[in-house]
Amino acid sequence: MYMNKQESDILNALLLEPFINQRILAEISGHSLGVVNRSIKELMKQGYLDEDVRLTDKARHEFNTKAPQKAIILAAGFGMRMVPINLESPKALLEVNGERLIDRQIKQLHEVGIKDIYIVVGFMKEQFEYLIDEYGVQLIVNQEYATKNNYYSMVTALKGMEVANTYIVPCDIWCDRKPFHSHELYSWYMVSDLVDEESDVRVNRKMELVRIKNSAGNAMIGIAYLLKEDMEKLKEQLDEIKDDGSFWEEALYIKDRMFVAAHVVHASEVVEINTYEQLRELDSDSQQLKSDVIKIIAEQLHTTPDSITDISVLKKGMTNRSFLFSCEGKKYIMRIPGEGTDLLINRREEAAVYQAIAGEWLCDDPVYINPENGYKITAFLDNVRVCDPLDVKDLRKCIGLLKQFHDLKLKVDHEFDIFGQIDFYESLWNGKPSMYKDYRKTKENVRSLIPFIEANIKEKILTHIDANQDNFLFYEQDEITKLQLTDWEYAGMQDPDVDIAMFAIYAFYNKRQTDRLISIYFDGECETAIRAKIYAYMAACGLLWSNWCEYKSTLGVEFGEYCLRQYRYAKEYYRYALEEIKKIGGMADE
């Protein structure tokens, strides 16, 4: 016979406390007196309780069969919302009241007899090595942690272990009371009684977890207990999920209902630590709060760390990780250079560029910039939108600002060498061949354009290089719409026509759209040689950023379609450049 959740809870309560009377049993189990009476009768009928309301051998066998055996702790991710702490430590190793989160979880599992523990690691995986000797755990490495959510961590874990009754635990949870037990009778997923605007799951009257629409749900904690048969079901459903951006909980649903019961806890008992400020609220003395980044902000803004509030991660950029924060009524952005950028960007040269453009109203001057590590603080602009490259009005305004910048003819002491950078990015592959089978031929073709390019450069001036439509910012100030050009990391001396080519390939323009862009910049009077040169730059810059993507992929950072599209520009605009060059007799036929 099937034992329902209420009956299981009553049986669990009787394991903890010998039966005295129904009212006390109702208090212990959390169920009403009516539920207790019905459950006792049914449990007696099924042979789990004797006439004195004591556990039978059948009941004890049930406990033994369904007892927890293993645990999986998910600890692979970046913890992006933990900026700036995640620059120095994985979130699983955060300390609360002098104890690391993951150490506390392992100890709590050991207290209920669970020693077979698997920890899925990825980001800063080496920092978890001590756990093997300290607690006898097994580490499972998720190589795809940078590009896939914890769905893939769960898939990776299940490949490396035998299925059994298992606790599943996210590494960023701090529990006031131990959430694990030596006895469990059914599978469950933990939620809290807190209403969460971001949750789409709610507990119904049957203690089931169902999906809801257009409404807040119960806060999802992420701790779960799955019996062996439900672990098998989870494994099957994970195999059916093709979206690597999913969370593992997606595999718990059958249609819009989880196949495991709800386990509801009070919000005060379980804290998910996702942000710097959540850690500060839980333990204001935590060592991780003493971040160098927070210290720098406080020093530069002449304030105290406690005044730095509302910390939230911004969308992860292609080069940097940045976060937004407030201080004394103003908002700022702190830029933190991403993985491997120390090889890609010379921060001293970047600082020199900001010095060159200071006072020209192209963008707000940085509040702080460190030429050694690239940390930068800038004022945050409210109500900002980026350029829509398909909107001609936007396009004309942005190209107007670009021309205004070029007309300044600013100078710095360094140059951005496109073809040198192509070779440099390739050298960072560490001998690994290109993803593209015809890479060598493509590179040879693009390099054959160098003599034509050099013969048609009129003047080299300070050029933005990264003229991405997302770097043109429209914002409101004093009821006037203004425009800025931001992100000057790659800027250096170069032919200003490179910025036109860069804008086109970033916007994924086709040839017709590219020609419209050229026409706007040159007021409809572009020489054939200049058009050919811009096409040649598009080919070269496409290869440049394709090589950049291939380098970033070696670090576990993928950009999907962007990489492929840039490689296509290298091939297609090489051909378009040749067509234009032939019109002026500039190169021999291939």
Going 14 to 16 to 20 to 22, the CA torsion angle's sign is negative
Per-residue confidence at 19, pLDDT binned at 50, 70, 90?
confident
pLDDT of residue 513: 97
Asked whether the beta carbons of 272 and 191 are under 8 A apart, the reply is no
Question: Taking all residues of the chain, what is their mean pLDDT, rounded to a whole number?
Answer: 89
How far apart, in whole angstroms, are the C-alpha atoms of residue 248 and residue 157?
11
Range in 365-379, 451-465, 523-537, 553-567 the model is least confident about:
553-567
Residue 320 has pLDDT above 80, yes or no: no
Asked whether the beta carbons of 426 and 453 are under 8 A apart, the reply is no
The residues that bridge with 474 in the sheet, in sequence order, are 385, 483
- Cβ-based burial of 339 (10 A; exposed 0-12, middle 13-18, buried ≥19): middle
Q: In degrees rounded to 5, what are phi and psi of residue 431?
A: 85, -5
- Rounded mean pLDDT, 272-281: 72
Per-residue confidence at 318, pLDDT binned at 50, 70, 90?
very low
- Rounded mean pLDDT, 131-142: 95
CATH 3.90.1150.200 holds for 385-583? no
Residue 589 has pLDDT above 50, yes or no: no
Range in 372-376, 441-445, 584-588 the model is least confident about:
584-588
Percent residues over pLDDT 90 in the chain: 56
Q: What is the pLDDT of residues 289-306, one digit of tens each?
A: 667 788 888 999 999 888
Q: What is the domain class of 5-65 according to CATH?
A: mainly alpha
Q: In degrees rounded to 5, what are phi and psi of residue 446?
A: -65, -40
Q: What is the pLDDT of residues 226-264, one digit of tens each?
A: 999 999 999 999 988 766 568 899 999 999 999 999 999
Going 117 to 122 to 124 to 125, the CA torsion angle's sign is positive
Residue 7 has pLDDT above 80, yes or no: yes
- Write down the domain spans for the chain: 5-65, 70-272, 291-380, 385-583
- Among candidate residues 332, 312, 334, 336, the one with its CA nearest the CA of residue 379: 332
Of the two residues 245 and 201, the one the predictor is more confident about is 201
Q: What is the pLDDT of residues 506-520, one digit of tens each?
A: 999 999 999 999 999
Q: In degrees rounded to 5, what are phi and psi of residue 50?
A: -90, -175
How far apart, in whole angstroms, are the C-alpha atoms of residue 70 and residue 118?
8
Indicate if 385-583 has the same CATH topology as 291-380.
Answer: no
- Rounded mean pLDDT, 30-50: 88
Asked whether the beta carbons of 168 and 259 are under 8 A apart, the reply is no
pLDDT of residue 590: 43
* Topology given in CATH for the domain delimited by 70-272: Spore Coat Polysaccharide Biosynthesis Protein SpsA; Chain A (3.90.550)
pLDDT of residue 56: 92
Q: What is the pLDDT of residues 139-166, one digit of tens each?
A: 999 988 877 888 899 999 998 789 999 9
pLDDT of residue 80: 60
How far apart, in whole angstroms, are the C-alpha atoms of residue 554 and residue 165?
37
Of the two residues 553 and 82, the one the predictor is more confident about is 553
Percent residues over pLDDT 70 in the chain: 91
The residues that bridge with 484 in the sheet, in sequence order, are 473
Residue 488 has pLDDT above 80, yes or no: yes
Range in 28-37, 388-397, 461-470 the model is least confident about:
28-37
Q: Which helix (H) or strand (E) holds 164?
A: none
pLDDT of residue 423: 95
How far apart, in whole angstroms, are the C-alpha atoms of residue 498 and residue 506?
12
Please give the CATH architecture assigned to the domain spanning 291-380: 2-Layer Sandwich (3.30)
Residue 532 has pLDDT above 50, yes or no: yes
pLDDT of residue 383: 85
